Amino acid sequence: MVKHIFVTGGVVSSLGKGLTSAAIGLILERRGLTVSLQKLDPYINVDPGTMSPFQHGEVYVTDDGAETDLDLGHYERYTHAKLTQSSNFTTGKIYSTVIAKERRGDYLGRTVQVIPHITDAIKEAIHEGAAEGADVAITEIGGTVGDIESLPFLEAVRQFALERPKGDVLFLHVTLLPYLRASGELKTKPTQQSVGKLREIGIQPDILVCRTEQPMTQEMAQKISMFCNVRPEAVVEERDVAYSIYEVPVDLCRLGLDKLVVAHLGFESDTETDLDDWSLMLAELKSVEKTCEIAVVGKYIQLHDAYKSIYESLAHAGYANRCKVKLRKISAEDVLVKGTEILAGVDGVLVPGGFGERGIEGKIQAIRWAREQDLPFFGICLGMQCAVIEYARHELGLEGAHTLEHSPHSPHPVISLMADQREIDQKGGTMRLGAYDCELDPGTRIHELYGCTRISERHRHRFEFNNDYRDQFAASTMVLSGRNPGRDLVEIIEIPEHPFFIGVQFHPEFKSRPLNPHPIFKGFVGAALAHANGNNPAPVCETVL
Ligand code: GLN
């Protein structure tokens, strides 16, 4: 029978609960256990798909087309857990199912209430999220303990634990020890109060993970233990990492969290957690000397979380190329205002996905500059669409070429609405979402990068390359090198005579892993590094992974 870990958060949001949950998942896998991971989000949107990245950060997409919280990206990067539509539930999604049942008459005669109907639906969602065959299901509860919105979730997990044999459920609370610089001390009171809130609801945490920027002393752990009713050895420090988020699982194991968790759940605790490759990666990351600089030209560059998976994928590709990838985050609008000079000195340009008109022309200018300067370019989703528009306007002479998304009366809609999107009037969950196959043309750059001719990648878009312009592109130096076999949609464009110019309609960033970087990111960073070395004639670094 699957055992459960519930991860809650206290004091403030953005504590890194998602990372901690993912790190625990990795640790358990490295002890031979199978894990599944799930996030419960207390907000009322049915999913984050309709939210602005400024509100929510990136929307992470699963193979089966769920638009989910970005923490699921951490789960997939750290573990082998297979994430699905059941891996992320929000208050909105839970209420939708309960209200649909009520309308159907499933509760005839009864008053539908938060307890038991909503809490029952949450418990069902937890069962659904625990993948078949998993030894441990980790469920992270979004928000902060004390929020009104998270109460039904906490009540549901309290009931859930009561219905399970003792020892089958572990409550882990991630909390903050704020550091007061003026007095030079860490404070435990907020942690005491947030654990107090949890205990009021009826949840006694078994383990406390204390986020801190300064070391937590033994004395402090004792104090927290006494006030929070948690054994002293189960008060574990999680200090800010120095250079990589991939340090977290190694740090937590060093402090014995692995043994605490498995002992609590009744698994073998005498063996060591095998994190050798992970530790080697960290040691090597520390020692890299070479650097290349990539400009990410986007609309939401002020917020690191908005392009989380892209930044992570670049870091993975940096590791694969044994170099550090320096990011130059550039607002697409600034390219228009300040000119392409703001890109001077970078070794590659990446234009990510996006929605809305703001910044489009800046992206197009940045792409033109990269194309004309022979600078490595990588366009993702909207980034690929912009590359098609740029090429149509400046190489094919199609004046006014545009996407129908922003220019419904364009004389040359080289990017148009997909046929099956035309009748859709609901915004939520209606894009082309999830994994689709793509066939690659043999002998192309993309084929060389993947090393095969059939791939599967995840999508999230409504618009596509307009096949009416196919012949004009086919007669040019731009190659349409990948297509969806069923619907003949163009998924990849490239310019073979350019050092590296690739645009993809899908989101490869969702499939890159630290020890298994995505081939396009790896090739792109490799090309950027070659560019960096060309400017500074050092030997070209070999790609080692
Ligand atoms: N807005 C574009 C579309 O819907 C691109 C989407 C994206 O970049 N994810 O097709």
301 and 154 fall within a common domain: no
pLDDT of residue 54: 86
Ligand 1 centre from 355 Cα, in Å? 6
**57 in a domain, yes or no?**
yes
405 and 449 fall within a common domain: yes
**26 in a domain, yes or no?**
yes
397 and 504 fall within a common domain: yes
Under 8 Å between Cβ of 308 and 513: no
The phi and psi torsions of 116 (rounded to 5 degrees) equal: -100, -10
**539 in a domain, yes or no?**
no
Q: What would the two tokens of residue 203 be?
A: 């949840």
Ligand 1 centre from 463 Cα, in Å? 6
pLDDT of residue 421: 83
Residues β-bridged to residue 439: 454, 483
In sequence order, which residues have a C-beta less than 8 Å from that of residue 493 and are 6 or more positions away? 384, 387, 388, 391, 465, 473, 478, 479, 480, 481, 502, 503
Here the CATH number for the domain that contains residue 59 is 3.40.50.300
Is residue 381 lining ligand 1, measured as CB closer than 6 Å?
A: yes
Is residue 299 lining ligand 1, measured as CB closer than 6 Å?
A: no
334 and 244 fall within a common domain: no
In sequence order, which residues have a C-beta less than 8 Å from that of residue 275 and are 6 or more positions away? 26, 27, 30, 249, 250, 253
Ligand 1 centre from 232 Cα, in Å? 50
pLDDT of residue 242: 85
Protein residue with least CA distance to atom 6, ligand 1? 461
pLDDT of residue 411: 96
In sequence order, which residues have a C-beta less than 8 Å from that of residue 189 and are 6 or more positions away? none
Residues classed as catalytic: 381, 507, 509
Ligand 1 centre from 356 Cα, in Å? 9
Q: What is the pTM of this model?
A: 0.94
Measured distance CA(295)–CA(302) in Å, rounded = 14
Here the CATH number for the domain that contains residue 500 is 3.40.50.880
**CA-463 nearest atom, ligand 1:** 10
**CA-415 nearest atom, ligand 1:** 10
Residues β-bridged to residue 455: 438
Is residue 382 lining ligand 1, measured as CB closer than 6 Å?
A: yes
Q: What would the two tokens of residue 463 be?
A: 């618009």
What radius of gyration do the chain's Cα atoms show? 25
90-146 tens-digit pLDDT: 999 999 999 999 999 999 999 999 999 999 999 999 999 998 899 999 999 999 999
186-201 tens-digit pLDDT: 999 999 999 999 999 9
In sequence order, which residues have a C-beta less than 8 Å from that of residue 229 and are 6 or more positions away? 195, 199, 204
CA torsion, ordered 260, 266, 272, 277, to nearest 10 deg = -90
Q: What would the two tokens of residue 275 be?
A: 């994190």
Is residue 353 lining ligand 1, measured as CB closer than 6 Å?
A: yes
Which of 472, 470, 465, 471 shows the shortest CA–CA distance to 396?
Answer: 472
SS (H, E, C) 98-113: HHHHHHHCCCCCCCCC
**318 in a domain, yes or no?**
yes
pLDDT of residue 535: 57
168 and 294 fall within a common domain: no
Q: What would the two tokens of residue 313 be?
A: 């994928």
How high is the mean pLDDT in each 10-residue block of the chain (545 residues)?
Answer: 96 92 98 97 94 90 97 97 96 97 95 97 97 94 94 97 94 97 93 96 97 94 96 95 92 95 92 94 91 96 94 96 96 95 96 93 97 97 98 97 94 92 87 96 97 97 96 96 94 97 98 97 97 63 38
Ligand 1 centre from 412 Cα, in Å? 18
Protein residue with least CA distance to atom 1, ligand 1? 355
Pocket test for ligand 1, best of 351, 363, 461 (most atoms within 8 A of CB): 461
414 and 343 fall within a common domain: yes
264 and 321 fall within a common domain: no
Under 8 Å between Cβ of 158 and 202: yes
pLDDT of residue 386: 98
265 and 390 fall within a common domain: no
Under 8 Å between Cβ of 498 and 479: no
Q: What would the two tokens of residue 8 be?
A: 């809650």
pLDDT of residue 166: 85
Protein residue with least CA distance to atom 5, ligand 1? 382
Ligand 1 centre from 397 Cα, in Å? 24
Ligand 1 centre from 4 Cα, in Å? 37
pLDDT of residue 30: 96
CA–chain centroid gap for 9, Å, is: 19
**211 in a domain, yes or no?**
no
Q: Which domain holds residue 130?
A: 3-8+13-177+239-281
Is residue 355 lining ligand 1, measured as CB closer than 6 Å?
A: yes
268 and 356 fall within a common domain: no
Is residue 517 lining ligand 1, measured as CB closer than 6 Å?
A: no
Protein residue with least CA distance to atom 9, ligand 1? 353
Q: What would the two tokens of residue 513 be?
A: 């892993």
**183 in a domain, yes or no?**
no
**CA-507 nearest atom, ligand 1:** 9
pLDDT of residue 268: 86
Strand ranges across the sheet with 463-465:
401-403, 412-417, 463-465
Protein residue with least CA distance to atom 8, ligand 1? 353
* Percent of the chain clearing pLDDT 70 (strictly above): 98
Which of 58, 69, 44, 78 shows the shortest CA–CA distance to 140?
Answer: 69
244 and 380 fall within a common domain: no
168 and 299 fall within a common domain: no
What is the rounded end-to-end Cα distance, in angstroms, of the chain? 38
Is residue 461 lining ligand 1, measured as CB closer than 6 Å?
A: yes
Under 8 Å between Cβ of 37 and 49: no
Measured distance CA(250)–CA(391) in Å, rounded = 47
Pocket test for ligand 1, best of 351, 360, 382 (most atoms within 8 A of CB): 382
Is residue 155 lining ligand 1, measured as CB closer than 6 Å?
A: no
What is the enclosing helix (H) or strand (E) of 171? strand 169-176
CA–chain centroid gap for 468, Å, is: 35
Q: Please state the domain count of the chain.
A: 2
Measured distance CA(367)–CA(344) in Å, rounded = 13
Neighbouring CB atoms inside 10 A of 454's CB total 11
Is residue 307 lining ligand 1, measured as CB closer than 6 Å?
A: no
**422 in a domain, yes or no?**
yes
Pocket test for ligand 1, best of 360, 384, 433, 460 (most atoms within 8 A of CB): 460
Ligand 1 centre from 393 Cα, in Å? 20
Is residue 354 lining ligand 1, measured as CB closer than 6 Å?
A: yes
Ligand 1 centre from 479 Cα, in Å? 21
Residue that is last in its domain, among 281, 301, 335: 281
Is residue 67 lining ligand 1, measured as CB closer than 6 Å?
A: no
Residue that is last in its domain, among 230, 252, 281: 281
**200 in a domain, yes or no?**
no
Protein residue with least CA distance to atom 7, ligand 1? 353
Protein residue with least CA distance to atom 3, ligand 1? 461
135 and 59 fall within a common domain: yes
Residue that is last in its domain, among 281, 309, 336: 281
Under 8 Å between Cβ of 47 and 90: yes
Ligand 1 centre from 242 Cα, in Å? 35
